[in-house]
Amino acid sequence: MLASPDLLAQLPESSVYVHPLKLVAVVVLIAVWAFYAQWADKDAIAVNTYRAIWNMVNVFGGLLALCLLLFVPNFWGALGGYAVVQLAVSLSYVIHRNGLVEPEDKVLTAAHLKKVMTEGLAGKKKAKQVEVKERVKLVGADRKTVRIPEDDEGRERYRLTQDLLFDMLWRRANLAQLSPAGQACQISYSVDGVVSEREPIGRAEGDNILLFLKQLAGLNVEERRKPQMGKLQAAIGENKYELTIQSNGSTAGERLAVRVIGRERGFKVADLGFTEKQMEQVRHFMDADKGLVLVTAPKGGGLTTTVYALARSHDAFLLNIQMLEYVRELDVDNITQRLFEPADDRTFTGELQKVVRSDPNVIVLPELRERGSMPAAARAAVEKQKVYVGMPAADIWDAFKRGLAGIGDSKLAARGLLAVLHQRLVRVLCMACKTPYKPDAATLRKLNLPGDKVLYRPPEPQFDKHGNPVLCQACQGTGYTGRTGIFHIVTVDDGLRQVLAAGGSINDIQAHCLKQGVPGLQQQALQKVFDGITSIEEVVRATRPPAASAGGAPAAPSGGAAQKATR
């Protein structure tokens, strides 16, 4: 049948069904979206924001815009809708990222547009790369030496990280914490247990350091909320360090902690600071075939180091030693270290019972978090094993109180307990600059010392002719180098065992220890003052109740001079 003339008249004159100009417009818009998406992906890493979330926003925004383009009948209306959606998505990201960076790093501002017009999108090409030096040799989690990056962005992150690590290691800081605060990043150091605030840096600089260290430590750079932990190796000359990198989210942003693990990773009990008489007590409970030893300290008091040192001091070739840990702080050679991973069908107490059934000679529990774990540990100590339990406590009487409450059975406690140990850490006077002095007569009488006794303390601040502080190069002006332990040990003898079995109170336990002449913590600490190891001021600081010294006590006057000299 022949087609009617009306139908033939409606046929297009050309065989091309896509208008070339419309096709070009679509291709240009899609190319612009692709360029923006690629830039946003890299920029999200640079400004340390939620890369995965913004990538999803950009992808779904692009798909929505594409659907408008394909299914809206009116082409120019569809094109306008496409442009509106993409503009809304891109501007949302730009507003978000501009709120995280310094003013000079913001985009689409008047200053930025002027800079683009004069220098182009890529900016003026630098004639020469910024000089970056390796001051701290780094080995990443992949066991590969970290090289200086070739790209400018990577070099800047490397430089900032080098500055932070060199400064903290030179100052002998064992902990550095970076915390975001608005457009700034606050930095604090802990040097020999005393916290000091450093000069804040820009938020973008802090984010760059955090990102670089997370990458080196093998952490997920896109995970910004859940806690993560990894390790690095660092070296300055012949001095080698192990660094623990920890990140966790907060309402202000992601925080970073860099902890330095030094000589303590190889400590044994002889390195901790016990007196000769205390070493006899330690050897006594270490040589026992079974029994429970409570090792206690306030937060930051060296508890983990002591627990690991006790485990390390047993002969791992003759004894089967097993540790059950929530977090593996250190690696111990020739000891089975079991890491507890919580699950719906798994409890710490259940895992401890499995360890007990495997018949080790020594069980080490650096911390307990479950209510039923302490009774299980006590039963194992009564029946066949030596068990060390680490727990926080304000003093040794608080340690008894917590330990007995955890066991929940006075007779079980009396049968199982071997000893309770409490410790604090005091700073050791710098051998290069400590200053002798003779206390006044009243102080000497109070300390029951002879009238001619000479003690030591940090030196008074000294200044050069320009008024700049003169710092001791051994201690960087703090007056102290390193820390040592002071200990209060109560060995459970037959008399104390009877007090415990009868359900005696803490006052009854104290009375028994007083009757037996057990030296207290301050008495042990003052002995280190008499021996010239530490100062009276440091003993007063370190033996305060934990609540009074929370947050770090102020450093000695010379420490303040040290900080002022470096700003």
Residues near 474 by beta carbon (within 8 Å), at least 6 away in sequence: 430, 431, 432, 433, 481
Give yes or no: residues 302 and 411 share one domain. yes
R_g (Cα) of the chain, nearest Å? 33
Q: State pLDDT tens for residues 207-263.
A: 999 999 999 999 998 888 899 999 999 999 888 899 999 999 888 889 999 999 888
Closest CA to 245 of 262, 236, 233, 235: 233
Give yes or no: residues 283 and 156 share one domain. no
Give yes or no: residues 306 and 362 share one domain. yes
Query: Does residue 33 lie in a domain region?
Result: yes
Helix axis angle, 506-516 to 494-501, nearest 10°: 170
DSSP string, 28-71: HHHHHHHHHHHHHHHHHHHTT--HHHHHHHHHHHHHHHHHHHHH
Q: State pLDDT tens for residues 395-443.
A: 999 999 999 999 999 999 999 999 999 999 999 999 999 999 988 888 7
Residues near 201 by beta carbon (within 8 Å), at least 6 away in sequence: 160, 184, 185, 187
With H, G, I as helix, E, B as strand and everything else as coil, classify residue 116: helix
Distance CA 461, CA 448 (A): 30
Give yes or no: residues 195 and 301 share one domain. no
Query: Does residue 132 lie in a domain region?
Result: no
Q: Which of 114-118, 304-308, 402-406, 557-561 has the lowest mean pLDDT?
A: 557-561
Give yes or no: residues 306 and 394 share one domain. yes
Give yes or no: residues 410 and 273 share one domain. yes
Q: Which of 2-6, 339-343, 553-557 has the lowest mean pLDDT?
A: 553-557
Distance CA 101, CA 184 (A): 10
Closest CA to 139 of 131, 147, 129: 147
Q: Tell me the pLDDT of the chain averaged across its residues.
A: 85
- Host domain of residue 297: 265-427+482-550
pLDDT of residue 112: 73
3-state secondary structure 238-298: CEEEEEEEEEECCCCCCEEEEEEECHHHHCCHHHCCCCHHHHHHHHHHHHCCCEEEEEEEC
The band of 551, judged by pLDDT with boundaries at 50, 70 and 90, is very low
Query: Does residue 459 lie in a domain region?
Result: no
3-state secondary structure 195-237: EEECCCEEHHHHHHHHHHHHHHCCCCCCCCCCCEEEEEEEEEC
pLDDT of residue 491: 95
Residues near 121 by beta carbon (within 8 Å), at least 6 away in sequence: none
Give yes or no: residues 420 and 536 share one domain. yes
Q: CATH code at 144?
A: 3.30.450.90
Distance CA 109, CA 105 (A): 10
Give yes or no: residues 244 and 334 share one domain. no
pLDDT of residue 298: 93
The burial of 89, by beta-carbon neighbours within 10 Å (0-12 exposed, 13-18 middle, 19 or more buried), is given as buried
**433 Rama class: left (phi>0) / alpha (psi -120 to 50) / beta:** alpha
Query: Does residue 388 lie in a domain region?
Result: yes
- Given 223, 242, 261, the domain boundary residue is 261
pLDDT of residue 30: 79
Query: Does residue 468 lie in a domain region?
Result: no
Kindly state the percentage of the chain with pLDDT values over 90: 53
The band of 7, judged by pLDDT with boundaries at 50, 70 and 90, is low
Q: CATH code at 287?
A: 3.40.50.300
* Number of domains the chain contains: 3
pLDDT of residue 422: 96
Query: Does residue 2 lie in a domain region?
Result: no
Give yes or no: residues 313 and 370 share one domain. yes
Query: Does residue 465 lie in a domain region?
Result: no
Closest CA to 486 of 302, 264, 232: 302
The band of 558, judged by pLDDT with boundaries at 50, 70 and 90, is very low
Task: Please check the confidence at residue 14 and state whether its pLDDT lies above 60.
Answer: no
Report whether 213 contacts 234 (CB < 8 A): no
Q: State pLDDT tens for residues 484-528.
A: 999 999 999 999 999 999 999 999 999 999 998 888 888 888 899
pLDDT of residue 120: 60
Give yes or no: residues 281 and 333 share one domain. yes
Q: State pLDDT tens for residues 136-171.
A: 999 999 999 999 998 888 899 999 999 999 999 999
Give yes or no: residues 299 and 362 share one domain. yes
Task: Please check the confidence at residue 565 and state whether its pLDDT lies above 50.
Answer: no
